Amino acid sequence: MAFGTNIRTYFEGSWHEGDIPVMRAADHGLWQGSSIFDGARLFDGLVPDLDLHCARANRSAEALMITPTIDPAEMVEIAREGLRKYAKDAAVYVRPMYWAIAGSDLGVAPKLGETRFALCLEEVAMPDPNAATTLTTTQFRRPVLADNVCNAKAGCLYPNNARMLVEAQRKGFGNALVQDSHGNVAESATANVFMARDGELFTPIANGTFLAGITRARHIKNLRAAGFAVHEAVLTLDDFHAADEVFLSGNFAKVTPVAAFDDTRYEIGPLTKAAREAYWDWALGAPL
């Protein structure tokens, strides 16, 4: 089932209208899970950090032993070509993807050089900036690099994220605040997380258990440039209960306010608003 509408798909060297079939029954990516994706966003005529998302797609492929076949600069141009077909005010999710076609002699590891690439564009509206989510805890935790490919945006990681999200929603919350194997906060089930306390911002330090996102890094840089103190630190669930504000950071929404963590309530405060304003100010001035 498609994520958005008005879909365009780049596959085997050309653009196609619609959500076309791209994967075959015997593709390694289907039956062994050797697939990666990345995501960028077109909104307000802007595609911030598209080059970084394309470069990360290749790094993710390499982490899964999939051979990248498209140079990141070429990937950027492919995406821009496809986006020209959309209305000027369209909001579009940009998703480059790789998957392995064949396996090695025992079938488990991807065979070098046997790769397929597709880039999918889907119209998906940007969320309302005042639409806040809620968080709760989850029994499921983020893995470590010794257990899984935490250094990639890999499809095989997402069933664990889905377990976290479904558990939270069954409890009546919108998302989960997820711990790492040591019990410290890593991120949410779907995005990185920031908290504010006493006028300063904090985000879990990147410790290899979660993908420290491109948008996360952009927020840190933007907010520090605007004069705010931003700390990457070891944070616990208690730290989030003691926070004044909490927001999620990810490509899909850029900034998602959090209204509650279990029975702790938050307002959409000045630092959450500052993060959003700083991001949009930067994006408006960034090279197209």
| Separation between Cα atoms, residue 165 and residue 16, nearest integer Å | 33
| Separation between Cα atoms, residue 270 and residue 180, nearest integer Å | 29
Q: Is the pLDDT of residue 78 over 70?
A: yes
The three-state secondary structure class of 158 is helix
Region 242-263: what's the mean pLDDT? 97
Whether the predicted model's global pTM rises above the 0.85 cut:
yes
| Separation between Cα atoms, residue 197 and residue 2, nearest integer Å | 39
Alpha carbon 116 to its chain's center: 21
- To the nearest whole number, what is the mean pLDDT of the chain? 96
* Nearest of 133, 139, 183, 186 to residue 164 by alpha carbon: 139
Q: Which two tokens stand for residue 19?
A: 């959500």
The pLDDT of residue 106: 84
| Separation between Cα atoms, residue 112 and residue 94, nearest integer Å | 26
The pLDDT of residue 39: 96
Per residue in 13-24, pLDDT (tens digit) is: 999 999 999 999
| Separation between Cα atoms, residue 6 and residue 112, nearest integer Å | 34
Per residue in 237-248, pLDDT (tens digit) is: 999 999 999 999
Q: Is the pLDDT of residue 148 over 60?
A: yes
* Nearest of 218, 176, 273 to residue 52 by alpha carbon: 218
